[in-house]
Amino acid sequence: MTTSFGQLAHLGHAELLTPDLDATVWFCTEILGMTETARDGDAAMLRTWDDYEQTSVVVRAAPHAGVGRVGLRTSSPEALEARAAALLAAGHEGRWEDGVAGTGRTFVTRDPDGHEIGLYHDTTWYTAPDHLRPGLKNQPQAKPGRGVAVRRFDHVNYLAADVQANAEFHADLLGARATEEIRMDDGHVAARWLTYTNKSYDVVYTEDWTGASGRLHHLAFATDTREDILRAADLCLDQGVPIETGPHKHAIQQTFFLYVFEPGGNRIELCNPVTRLVLAPDWPLITWTEPERAKGQAWGLKTIESFHTHGTPAAAGTDDRRYRPAALARRGDA
Amino acid sequence: MTTSFGQLAHLGHAELLTPDLDATVWFCTEILGMTETARDGDAAMLRTWDDYEQTSVVVRAAPHAGVGRVGLRTSSPEALEARAAALLAAGHEGRWEDGVAGTGRTFVTRDPDGHEIGLYHDTTWYTAPDHLRPGLKNQPQAKPGRGVAVRRFDHVNYLAADVQANAEFHADLLGARATEEIRMDDGHVAARWLTYTNKSYDVVYTEDWTGASGRLHHLAFATDTREDILRAADLCLDQGVPIETGPHKHAIQQTFFLYVFEPGGNRIELCNPVTRLVLAPDWPLITWTEPERAKGQAWGLKTIESFHTHGTPAAAGTDDRRYRPAALARRGDA
Amino acid sequence: MTTSFGQLAHLGHAELLTPDLDATVWFCTEILGMTETARDGDAAMLRTWDDYEQTSVVVRAAPHAGVGRVGLRTSSPEALEARAAALLAAGHEGRWEDGVAGTGRTFVTRDPDGHEIGLYHDTTWYTAPDHLRPGLKNQPQAKPGRGVAVRRFDHVNYLAADVQANAEFHADLLGARATEEIRMDDGHVAARWLTYTNKSYDVVYTEDWTGASGRLHHLAFATDTREDILRAADLCLDQGVPIETGPHKHAIQQTFFLYVFEPGGNRIELCNPVTRLVLAPDWPLITWTEPERAKGQAWGLKTIESFHTHGTPAAAGTDDRRYRPAALARRGDA
Amino acid sequence: MTTSFGQLAHLGHAELLTPDLDATVWFCTEILGMTETARDGDAAMLRTWDDYEQTSVVVRAAPHAGVGRVGLRTSSPEALEARAAALLAAGHEGRWEDGVAGTGRTFVTRDPDGHEIGLYHDTTWYTAPDHLRPGLKNQPQAKPGRGVAVRRFDHVNYLAADVQANAEFHADLLGARATEEIRMDDGHVAARWLTYTNKSYDVVYTEDWTGASGRLHHLAFATDTREDILRAADLCLDQGVPIETGPHKHAIQQTFFLYVFEPGGNRIELCNPVTRLVLAPDWPLITWTEPERAKGQAWGLKTIESFHTHGTPAAAGTDDRRYRPAALARRGDA
């Protein structure tokens, strides 16, 4: 464990880029069951019902799908200063900005692959308006009776040309610790999972075979139960949301998962960790070999081909997975 | 098993009476996740997503909450004629009418306690409009991503002054068979469960202590899973729908249940049978004694007092359980 | 619906043939969580906890895996006589025998593909010994705290050279009704699902491409919940039981499933119908076309190749899927 | 958050005292599905399948039920020294001992109410023998196909005469942080929940009304799913394990729960947090008032009387909740 472990408190929010703002917001509210709290021109603020901060996802109109800035909350104001200083001392770019999405002063930097990261400590705790007031006072908002009703923005999975370099940047400078990885027969790291918390991962780097940089593999949202994910698969089937693979259980991290595409083309994971936590302070990095990975997922499902090829923005000449939801087409919005 | 077992195919639909039509329809669509297919003055037609007939429930404005006609589908046109003839031969009232709720010619009669029953065979199979088309062809309608999304109108539980007489009416003349009952120490039957199918019950008679007649204990809707019922409890908690008791498991019939009140005052059960069926053609009636019932539900929950006292219409001087949903009040509809 | 629908009450029990009796019994008790009630030389009697009859499965030592006699209970003594007469009148073989597995006098016949079928009405209701007494009187036996604890022997899936002929035999002479089928582009029926009850199927015929006769595709056991099937997948993974495919949801019949192999080589399905029933007395046969089937299962899983090729007895030259459970090998039984 | 937050890594193990060793071990292995790894005279070592350390619970024969030493693992060797120094500096008793249950050198102290606490850092990671080897390398042990198969020793709930003093001891000297509490109308704290991790609680103090000291309210074990808890209720019902209350959802902490009694008389909770975590580093202590608590649990279940009165050792003159499991009685062990 790095000495800076604990300085990052948790993943805060992500900016999701989309060429079809209305359709992506429809997906977030009607399928994921998120709540839109504000719209500002080409950006919509959305939240899951159990995130305590104001915003879980900023959906922003853009020429291509992909991920913009990911916000990470530090565990204290001092930790924010310390991380900024460490990043600059290590020669990384960085600048202070006013925060977005309800957060305070933010140190904006990039990982080696070019993904933008915003570090902040001050944040706005969500206060539910009357019609979204929860039944219990230890919950920020009423659970929506709509769509999957995802509980929490859970993790981000980045594509990167050099997984190991990016994972080490995260471990050395942001205080993450690596819990699992895939190492190929030739010795290079094809994917690594890191955490800031007792969750077994908060951020993942997966190898980008295309030579592009700054791309997204997927954003993931946690549900209360595995049953929510089975129900989500039914909803996606009936609502015309393309399912890529699942429901099934990952061998790595043992997460119960479903991968779907939102209308803008980004891959979205619905995930459930089934109470699994990494509590050991000296948890050893678990390495999966190439032959072990060839066995597929936990219960034997083979990894689907597109899982290795699709990212956003989509590489030139590949399927960009965009579609127009029938629900919007029906309303004459197409 | 009576010789007429098999002549009734299944429970079709029920008319639910309410002093607050808008609020009861709000409950059916937003909490139960039913689909409103038509509105005709003071009546709304609603359906669960997996009932193959057009209508599961007719919600009708009335001075008091309660149950109106319950529709039962016969297994053939001949069975319809035979049941009508048997009822008349046994001295019961009956008349032929045009059907309601998408059903054909209907023989309308009453059980000894005065509950109206409509027997029919011809019916309209539901055809989903484009925006409700399901993903699979063996399903009548897309599963809604809204509320509990109840699958099936499951059973009706009547209050009756004389349980045994009403249950025997159902067994002898409508071809039901009794699967379980409660018999008190003095020998009288306090409740009896009957079925037309391999479900363990479709209709229940429970003793009415008030001397009133024709009252409703509850209507019940089946969910896909027990988890749907746990989720329903959370939705009710956050949406201000009063929970009477549950979730828990009944000792009798082993149904997993949740009882709530709809805004008009009727008790509604969400139930899940967990794959339990009665397949034996010679299933013996199971009798629960008074001391056995005193043990409470399957896992020990004591039966709540209001369960023995509340019915609709509410007896004079008792709580009628009506309320105005916050969601409607907020919209200025109160 | 055929006029004889209703004469068969339900599927009773099946004889499962195995070249490794101990290992197959280990699978049934330790993985499926069945209860062994008797052992008679080369046969073991086993039961699920909620089947009311004495025996759900007879496991019998044999040179090859496969299925022996399947018992079907009629709804009355008269129905038994009527079915026997109808079978003989239609020119099918048949003989009266003493019953097996706790059943009474049995009429033994064969379907056109040669699978042995035993019709009976008299049967022995299971009486639990003290140490297996259930907590509730409407349940035949305590639910085991061991393995998957399957609730019910659910269905049998036969391979047959001529699906349509065998399905029609079942419909015309045994009173089954067909609920779904697969019809290939050339017009022939590749699979058909039939039921005796309100379950959507009890027996299935699937095309056997090998030219063999009398083979088994799988036996299926129903669990209480989908979660039981996810848990089963974990148990199989950790106990070394080979998973063929799943957990996933079938498009046809919408059953939630997991397919595994028992040590003798037979395919076993764990299934959960999620409260789905066929209640309509005039349910129209649903036909899936070849292109529709090419889409895979409900949520997109492609049908696994072995699903089309493996049956028991295994065809000459094909994988027979036998294995020795580690648990037995460890005990020095290998 | 105290400055020492993070120095305690997590709850390690607990010593459970019992007047009937065999029966309590039977409960842990057959009902909870734990694995016994060693027996040493009057003590048995048991583990849940996903705890990475060797031992989750030490069951020890004693004249009365209750809790002995609870082990807490520090996040580093330095943190262990720092906590020991702080405790001594604050005037608390403490001594260094050899560890138990696979742990290294241990600093043994007591909370103000007299509960024994052992702090350690060095520990033995569990290595599964061949027959308990898991299917996935990120899991310490095969999940047992027996009983509830609890995943993790989750939390300890102590009774204490002065809740606030004990909770502050835990916060100030052991680096816990308080997440929720009950405060009575007269201003005193009746219960407080504290955590060392991102779990919302690891240790709880509840007011002991009897004037006794050092007593246990319950030990709790986490399951994978809520469904596991519903299944557990069925197993307890059929196996004769007394259920005190549940399954239901706590208002406080929103945990899905079931409380049962083990044969020695200790209360055991099966709990599922449904993915809820406390990620905010500045989570404000949530205070429940006396009127709020009077509303009962999340879905309205009233808190059962014995919940306020039963602890172990049982107070003189109160029910000690001991029983002899039928399974042992049957074997002639009674």
CB count within 10 Å of CB A88 equals 14
Contacts of C223 (CB under 8 A, 6+ apart): B275, C148, C149, C150, C151, C229, C232, C270, C271, C272
Which DSSP string corresponds to B109-167? Answer: EE-TT--EEEEE--BPBP---GGG--SSTTSSSPPPSBTT---EEEEEEEEES-HHHHH
Task: Report domain extents, chain B.
Answer: 8-123+148-313
DSSP letter assigned to residue A131: G
Best D148, D231, D270 member to test C by mutation, with max C CBs in 10 Å, is D231
Contacts B277 to C, Cβ<8 Å? 152, 197-199
Long-range contacts of A87-93 (CB under 8 A, 24+ apart): A87/A173, A90/A172, A90/A173, A92/A169, A92/A173
Instruction: Quote the tokens at residue D79.
Output: 């943190």
Q: Shortest Cα distance from D86 to chain C (angstroms)?
A: 45
Of B31, B142, B330, the CB nearest to A131: B330
- pLDDT at residue B326, as a whole number: 86
Note the ipTM here: 0.95
Give yes or no for B238 touching A (CB within 8 A): yes
pLDDT at A1 over 60: no
- pLDDT at residue D331, as a whole number: 52
For D307, the 3-state DSSP assignment is: helix
Best B223, B224, B230 member to test D by mutation, with max D CBs in 10 Å, is B230
Note the pLDDT tens digit of each residue in D64-108: 999 999 999 999 999 999 999 999 999 999 999 999 889 999 999
Distances (CA, A) of D303 to D244, D298, D300: 10, 11, 9
Yes or no: say if D308 and D251 are a contact pair by the CB < 8 Å rule: no
Instruction: Using a cut of 0.90, tell me whether the model's pTM lies above it.
Output: yes
Yes or no: say if A301 and A248 are a contact pair by the CB < 8 Å rule: yes
Number of CB pairs < 8 Å for A and B? 54
Distances (CA, A) of D144 to A152, A256, D33, D140: 30, 19, 6, 12
Sheet holding D116-120, edge to edge: D35-40, D43-47, D57-61, D8-18, D66-74, D116-120, D106-110, D95-97
Instruction: Quote the tokens at residue D232.
Output: 């557990």
Contacts A226 to D, Cβ<8 Å? 225
CA B284 to chain centroid, in Å, comes to 24
Give yes or no for C304 touching A (CB within 8 A): no
Contacts B245 to D, Cβ<8 Å? 300
Yes or no: say if A56 and A34 are a contact pair by the CB < 8 Å rule: yes
Is residue B102 exposed (0-12), middle (13-18) or buried (19+ Cβ within 10 Å)? Answer: buried
User: What is the mean pLDDT of the segment spanning C79-94?
Assistant: 97
Q: Please, what's the b/e burial string for A220-237 (b: 16 or more CB within 10 A of its CB; e: otherwise)? A: bbbbbbbbbbbbbbbbbb
Cβ of C299 within 8 Å of Cβ of A246? The answer is yes
pLDDT at A327 over 90: no
Q: For residue A296, which amino acid is it?
A: G
- pLDDT at residue A333, as a whole number: 45
Yes or no: say if D19 and D63 are a contact pair by the CB < 8 Å rule: yes
Contacts of D98 (CB under 8 A, 6+ apart): D105, D106
Best B10, B122, B136, B150 member to test C by mutation, with max C CBs in 10 Å, is B136
Cβ of B145 within 8 Å of Cβ of A147? The answer is yes
Of D142, D227, D238, the CB nearest to C143: D238
- pLDDT at residue A328, as a whole number: 87
Cβ of B136 within 8 Å of Cβ of A225? The answer is no
Give yes or no for A328 touching B (CB within 8 A): no
pLDDT at A332 over 60: no
Q: For residue C300, which amino acid is it?
A: G
- pLDDT at residue D330, as a whole number: 56
Cα separation, C57 vs C78, whole angstroms: 26
* Helix or strand (DSSP H, E) at C230: helix C226-239
Contacts C33 to D, Cβ<8 Å? 145
Of B33, B143, B234, the CB nearest to A234: B143
Phi, psi at residue C3, to the nearest 5°? -70, -20
- For chain C, which chains pass the contact test of at least 3 CB pairs under 8 Å? A, B, D
Phi, psi at residue D131, to the nearest 5°? -75, -5
Which DSSP string corresponds to C16-53? Answer: EEES-HHHHHHIIIIIS--EEEEEETTEEEEE-SS-SB
Residue in chain C nearest B53 by alpha carbon: C280
Which one, of D222, D328, D231, D213, lies nearest residue D268 by Cα? Answer: D222
Band (pLDDT 50/70/90 cuts) for residue C330 is: low
Q: Does domain B8-123+148-313 have CATH number 3.10.180.10?
A: yes
Cα separation, D191 vs D1, whole angstroms: 19
Rounded to 5°, angle at Cα D279 from D277 and D285: 85
Per-residue confidence in pLDDT tens, chain B, 334 aa: 456 889 999 999 999 999 999 999 999 999 999 999 999 899 999 999 999 999 999 999 999 999 999 999 999 999 999 999 999 999 999 999 999 889 999 999 999 999 999 999 999 999 999 999 999 999 999 999 999 999 999 999 999 999 999 999 999 999 999 999 999 999 999 999 999 999 999 999 999 988 899 999 999 999 999 999 999 999 999 999 999 999 999 999 999 999 999 999 999 999 999 899 999 999 999 999 999 999 999 999 998 888 888 999 998 888 899 999 988 875 544 3
DSSP letter assigned to residue D278: -
DSSP letter assigned to residue B198: S
Mean pLDDT for chain A?
95
Of C142, C227, C235, the CB nearest to D145: C235
Long-range contacts of A189-193 (CB under 8 A, 24+ apart): A189/A163, A189/A164, A190/A163, A191/A163, A191/A252, A192/A163, A192/A164, A192/A167, A193/A252, A193/A253
- pLDDT at residue D217, as a whole number: 98
Is residue D90 exposed (0-12), middle (13-18) or buried (19+ Cβ within 10 Å)? Answer: exposed
Give yes or no for B225 touching A (CB within 8 A): yes
Residue in chain B nearest C52 by alpha carbon: B280
Q: Shortest Cα distance from B324 to chain C (angstroms)?
A: 32
- pLDDT at residue C1, as a whole number: 43
**C-alpha dihedral (B233, B235, B236, B238), degrees to nearest 10:** 120
Cα separation, C270 vs C232, whole angstroms: 8
Of A273, A283, A298, the CB nearest to D275: A273
Band (pLDDT 50/70/90 cuts) for residue A317 is: confident
Yes or no: say if C286 and C278 are a contact pair by the CB < 8 Å rule: no
Yes or no: say if A206 and A191 are a contact pair by the CB < 8 Å rule: yes
Cβ of C138 within 8 Å of Cβ of B286? The answer is yes
Note the pLDDT tens digit of each residue in C21-58: 999 999 999 999 999 999 989 999 999 999 999 999 99
Q: For residue C224, which amino acid is it?
A: D
Which one, of C139, C209, A200, C73, lies nearest residue D234 by Cα? Answer: C139
Homologous superfamily of the D8-124+149-315 domain (CATH): 2,3-Dihydroxybiphenyl 1,2-Dioxygenase, domain 1 (3.10.180.10)
- pLDDT at residue B25, as a whole number: 98
For C131, the 3-state DSSP assignment is: helix
Is residue C327 exposed (0-12), middle (13-18) or buried (19+ Cβ within 10 Å)? Answer: middle
CB count within 10 Å of CB B92 equals 16
DSSP letter assigned to residue D301: P
Q: Please, what's the b/e burial string for C98-107 (b: 16 or more CB within 10 A of its CB; e: otherwise)? A: ebbbbbeebb
* Residue that the structure tokens 């704290």 belong to: D189
Distances (CA, A) of B151 to B30, B148, B248, C274: 14, 9, 19, 10
Cα separation, B65 vs B59, whole angstroms: 10
Distances (CA, A) of C109 to A115, C113, C118: 70, 11, 6
Which residues, numbered 133 to 172 in chain A, qualify as contacts with chain B under a Cβ-Cβ cut-off of 8 Å? 134-136, 142-143, 145-148
Q: Shortest Cα distance from D233 to chain B (angstroms)?
A: 6
Handedness of CA B125, B130, B134, B135 (dihedral sign): positive
User: What is the mean pLDDT of the segment spanning A50-75?
Assistant: 98
| Domain C8-128+148-316 fold | 2,3-Dihydroxybiphenyl 1,2-Dioxygenase; domain 1 (3.10.180)
Cβ of C134 within 8 Å of Cβ of D330? The answer is no
Note the pLDDT tens digit of each residue in D279-288: 999 999 999 9
Give yes or no for D224 touching A (CB within 8 A): yes
Of C134, C136, C145, the CB nearest to D147: C145
CATH class of A8-124+150-312: alpha beta
